[in-house]
Structure 1
Amino acid sequence: MAGKIPNDPIMCLSFVNTQLRDFYPDLDELCSAFDTERSELEKKLQAVGYTYDREKNQFR
């Protein structure tokens, strides 16, 4: 899937959770598809209070 993850943290949160819900079984698959470092994505979302929940496959 071509595209770019939004830079704004809140837009990023919405985009990533939608992608995880609809297309990707886990965060690693999403990061691979978007050529994004998982640690950087997690750091960006942690800065606004969200962490990845592997069981729910979403940031909460």
Structure 2
Amino acid sequence: MEYLPKDPAILVSSVNMLLRDEEFDTLESLCYNFETEPADIKDYLFGHGYVYSEEQRQFRPIGYNSEQNDNKR
């Protein structure tokens, strides 16, 4: 993760923006470009309260989807 931001909030924002704006098709292609492994980013951000959603192609706060589902009941 040498070329990516170290601050978790900035890293989440940067990765999500690059995926949202379709600079990269997948997290794997983004990681390849920045010479890191997807597991490294996922593990680092999980330790800071974020989890990767394959469906949404973005990092979200842990529990975000479950809280959203609980509010729909």
Determine if the TM-score, normalized by the shorter chain, exceeds 0.5. Answer: yes
Q: Distance in 1 between matches of 2:16 and 2:47?
A: 16
| Alignment deviations for residues 16-44 of structure 1 (CA, whole Å, 9 cap, x no partner) | 11111111111111101111111111111
User: Could you say which residue in structure 2 is the equivalent of 1:57?
Assistant: 57
Larger Cα Rg: Structure 1 or Structure 2?
2
**Is 1:14 equivalent to 2:13 in the alignment?**
yes
What TM-score comes out, normalization by structure 1 length? Answer: 0.84
2:28–2:37 Cα contact (<8 Å) kept: no
Return the structure number with greater relative CO, CA threshold 8 A, min gap 6.
1
Unpaired stretches in structure 1, ≥5 consecutive residues: none
RMSD of Structure 2 on Structure 1 (CA): 1.0
Q: Distance in 2 between matches of 1:16 and 1:7?
A: 12
Flag the structure with higher strand content: 2
Moved beyond 2 Å, runs of 4+: none
What TM-score comes out, normalization by structure 2 length? Answer: 0.71
Q: Distance in 2 between matches of 1:48 and 1:56?
A: 19
Amino acid at match of 1:18: M
